[in-house]
Structure 1
């Protein structure tokens, strides 16, 4: 999402919706063409006084920090990746400090909302960490670059010549020719993996090896689990308290029905009003009608749902690869009882793939940092195959060097999950990579409500039944907001960019949109 992410536009509930994902990183803003909240809204959010307590948030060990800025002279590192705590300390920080006796590294791990708030306060009070992730900020890296949050690191360490060099993209990791970050994780992933309780399936007479490859078969499995297990046990849990989870989920389900995502790359138009989105939402309502969804789902966030699943209250949970890593840290007994995974189901037996953009940068060096060289050199160590294999062993989002999973010490279900991604996921175009001016449009765009997640939540709670109408209004509003942002960027900043930047005529649905595809566009 444990740690979280990121991230993706599939991205995006507003940060104040308190996204509880605890592992992984979110996709880049280009995945549907906008950040989660506009620049003005982001800067004008909660006041520093109201957020000051965030700077006294929990550390990785759960203790309260004694002072907001950490020890004087130390290199400060803030992130949300709780399952990575031991690995980062033992295999990144400790070796670096041993080789550089004058460097002390202090890491603080926080929940996503707390981290986002702490970063906002830290920037306003000149107490930023040297290195941090973007979790909880609810906006694109491009928007933050435009506000001067970061400093380039490409001249301080050779990221271009590192094992991850081929995964560096303009508009995501490079800005104005300068490398500012790199992808720690792979872009070949999705957050709708069906994770199942092996013991519960066997109790209900369901063969874990027989995949429910269609929506109807998954509904049948959920019904059998609900009826064939103990009272109080349900077939599936769908945490719907947080709209961002619902937005992710419906996007992925719509793709399995044949949608390209929130944008039709052949035309560049927003496509949330496509029939596939209606079908995906109706599939979720059908699960409710079947009475196979855990009844407390409306009050659950993703973390709550994982805890309920781990407690044996639900048999299936659609979430990301980081699910099992989080279980191993917080509910290891659930892993011991048995956990498995399937391919993401499609509406029919015909398989459609899902699309994710290239993975955006994970860690960034603050423009306030006085230790940028040490920070960059430390981050460079994360690009080695050795570190990537250790990252895979934490079973978070798959590492950017995905092939190391085969040699890493991981649970068989995680290995299978990552292997399934190779079948099920293709890398989508990212407009900000193809046209430099797009990131300025993304930075200018304001949040639209109700967004996709809001609409899904309203349908599931019975607040609205006009699914097609709500999706059409959202699509129209997104289109109008993009047009407005383009006009502002063109007229006020002199940037030549138009809606054609979202058109990728050479996009092949069955292939990755790679560096060569951008060059041949």
Structure 2
């Protein structure tokens, strides 16, 4: 999702350790406590000064939502989907519904979050929007705070092809459907993408993907040493702590960590200080010691890293499924030169799964919207096989009906990537589904620093070498913070929640944790 700078949900870090990030770019963001507790005047002034992806201020974007002559306003961060949404969703709907006008604004995730916060305060919200840039807050929290209105009685989402993917506590609240997952939950954002020309020049047999981390290191060394010019085996953009945090979460899962969110579902304990997390960070350090990482990585964001890869300066880059779609938008010549993908390797030949929770809703109808029925009817079109095929063709995050990718018009590398996800990814537990009061705990939890991303950043820049010690200190802090938050919501809000809300004793690491699993918990 998102200019590829994003993707859809919340960060798997400090307070939102039970959920997985969908944000691809970092920058200014709205914290959970600001969102739930209200923002200061100074913070709002900063939001108003923020620039959107269209070069406007947040104030101008908000004003546009209320001054478009009755047009249905739609805001999101999905840059690779721009043409598809306009040509295959909005235009056909407007043609079949005379008098309906839909206007969409695409912004980078941080700017979208700020614009939404300003719009909320000024009663100028768009009719439909995504949650990118809203600080990883649970949808349940925003539903409780009155941000959204239900859509299940306005259009038949329960009877749609995605009806069996609707979860209580994720899409359905108090028996009312508020959203749906147009995208699949079976994905991760550490896909190894490679430049076929550079690997061929380096004598690497790209068809034989690296099965282990050591093999990936060997491939990176061959690219660095076996190609002409200033070419490096890989690029690890380290400017943005969130990219590093998400990367280490995925690598740790490949090393055997549970997920999502660094929670041991058998005990409910955080495991940031476990051996898989140490190994994951040590692997990134080893790449640096091998001198195969692009030397400018420390100054790069995720999109910068992709641009350097596209320019032929690095052979391998770990990012999400949206990689190809993003290249086709911004650097199509790189796709023409050749791009391929592998399974995410593991430390040893033993294969471990990467985990995601059930995919959250992507688009929500604002409680301020006067066009909720129209908005719901537009959104319902996204559940059809026809639209899911078009969604697949945009090559962003895989569509919810992932099977349509096999027949969609997509690049071979994207098709392979989605096929790999079916083998490599399993759906893990989401605490809010098991106990809706969990969101109150997550909202109460304070952001802790240094968090996982900060720690990885410090290690890669040489500010610290005590990987195990830093992880242990963070694990102790976040555990104590969760205990504090639980006590607060118990005593002040009467919430019926305790540490057991994070325990899923019937979790089978080899299987999806589905709706039946919640029922049998």
* 8 Å contact kept, 1:13–1:243: no
Shift of 1:67: 5.3
* 8 Å contact kept, 2:48–2:118: yes
Q: Which residue of 1 aligns with 2:252?
A: 254
Q: 1:177 to 1:41 in 2, by over 3 A?
A: closer
* 8 Å contact kept, 1:393–1:408: yes
Are positions 1:384 and 2:387 aligned together? no
Are positions 1:149 and 2:159 aligned together? no
Q: Which residue of 1 aligns with 2:490?
A: 490
Structure 2 Cα separation of the partners of residues 387 and 12 of structure 1: 36
* 8 Å contact kept, 1:150–1:365: yes
Shift of 1:147: 2.0
Secondary structure of residue in 1 paired with 2:340: strand
The counterpart of 1:242, out of the listed 237, 240, 243, is 240
Shift of 1:40: 3.9
Question: Residues 249-294 of structure 1, C-alpha deviation per residue, up to 9 Å, x if partnerless?
Answer: 0011111111103000010000100011001100000000011000
Matches within 5 A, 1:90-169: 90-140=87-137, 141-169=139-167
* 8 Å contact kept, 1:197–1:339: yes
TM-score under structure 1 normalisation? 0.93
Q: 1:225 to 1:139 in 2, by over 3 A?
A: same
Matches within 5 A, 1:272-311: 272-311=272-311
User: Which range is displaced more, 175-184 or 35-44?
Assistant: 35-44
Structure 2 Cα separation of the partners of residues 424 and 161 of structure 1: 30
Question: Residues 459-501 of structure 1, C-alpha deviation per residue, up to 9 Å, x if partnerless?
Answer: 0011111111111111111111111121122112222111101
Q: Which residue of 2 aligns with 1:409?
A: 409
Structure 2: 5+ residue stretches without partners: 17-21
Question: Residues 407-438 of structure 1, C-alpha deviation per residue, up to 9 Å, x if partnerless?
Answer: 11010100000000011111001111111221
Q: 1:437 to 1:410 in 2, by over 3 A?
A: same
Aligned residues: 503
Shift of 1:508: 0.5
Structure 1: 5+ residue stretches without partners: 24-34
Structure 1 Cα separation of the partners of residues 350 and 30 of structure 2: 33
Q: Which residue of 1 aligns with 2:8?
A: 6
Shift of 1:351: 0.7
Structure 2 Cα separation of the partners of residues 132 and 501 of structure 1: 30
Shift of 1:198: 0.2
Q: Which residue of 2 aligns with 1:21?
A: 24
Q: Which residue of 1 aligns with 2:346?
A: 346
Q: 1:151 to 1:41 in 2, by over 3 A?
A: closer
* 8 Å contact kept, 2:75–2:129: yes
Shift of 1:377: 0.8
The counterpart of 2:64, out of the listed 62, 65, 68, is 68
Shift of 1:367: 1.0
Q: Which residue of 2 aligns with 1:224?
A: 222
User: Which range is displaced more, 4-13 or 463-472?
Assistant: 4-13
Question: Residues 21-77 of structure 1, C-alpha deviation per residue, up to 9 Å, x if partnerless?
Answer: 269xxxxxxxxxxx99432477336633332244865189xxx97953251211000
Q: Which residue of 2 aligns with 1:29?
A: none
* 8 Å contact kept, 1:164–1:383: yes
Shift of 1:175: 1.4
Q: Which residue of 1 aligns with 2:54?
A: 58
Q: 1:120 to 1:55 in 2, by over 3 A?
A: farther
Matches within 5 A, 1:76-87: 76-87=73-84
Structure 2 Cα separation of the partners of residues 8 and 520 of structure 1: 27
Q: Which residue of 2 aligns with 1:32?
A: none
Q: Which residue of 1 aligns with 2:505?
A: 505
Secondary structure of residue in 2 paired with 1:513: coil
* 8 Å contact kept, 2:189–2:319: yes
Structure 2 Cα separation of the partners of residues 107 and 489 of structure 1: 38
* 8 Å contact kept, 1:20–1:301: no
* 8 Å contact kept, 1:143–1:442: no
Q: Which residue of 2 aligns with 1:47?
A: 43
Q: Which residue of 2 aligns with 1:26?
A: none
Structure 2 Cα separation of the partners of residues 379 and 59 of structure 1: 27
Are positions 1:263 and 2:254 aligned together? no
Q: Which residue of 2 aligns with 1:89?
A: 86
Secondary structure of residue in 2 paired with 1:122: helix
* 8 Å contact kept, 2:25–2:301: no
User: Which range is displaced more, 156-165 or 298-307?
Assistant: 156-165
Q: 1:57 to 1:199 in 2, by over 3 A?
A: closer
TM-score under structure 2 normalisation? 0.93
Matches within 5 A, 1:430-445: 430-445=430-445
Q: Which residue of 2 aligns with 1:31?
A: none
Structure 1 Cα separation of the partners of residues 170 and 52 of structure 2: 31
Q: Which residue of 2 aligns with 1:478?
A: 478
* 8 Å contact kept, 2:148–2:366: yes
* 8 Å contact kept, 1:154–1:179: yes
* 8 Å contact kept, 2:23–2:132: no
Q: Which residue of 1 aligns with 2:320?
A: 320
Structure 2 Cα separation of the partners of residues 139 and 398 of structure 1: 21
Question: Residues 129-160 of structure 1, C-alpha deviation per residue, up to 9 Å, x if partnerless?
Answer: 00000111113222322322111111111111
Structure 2 Cα separation of the partners of residues 10 and 149 of structure 1: 23
Structure 1 Cα separation of the partners of residues 361 and 249 of structure 2: 22
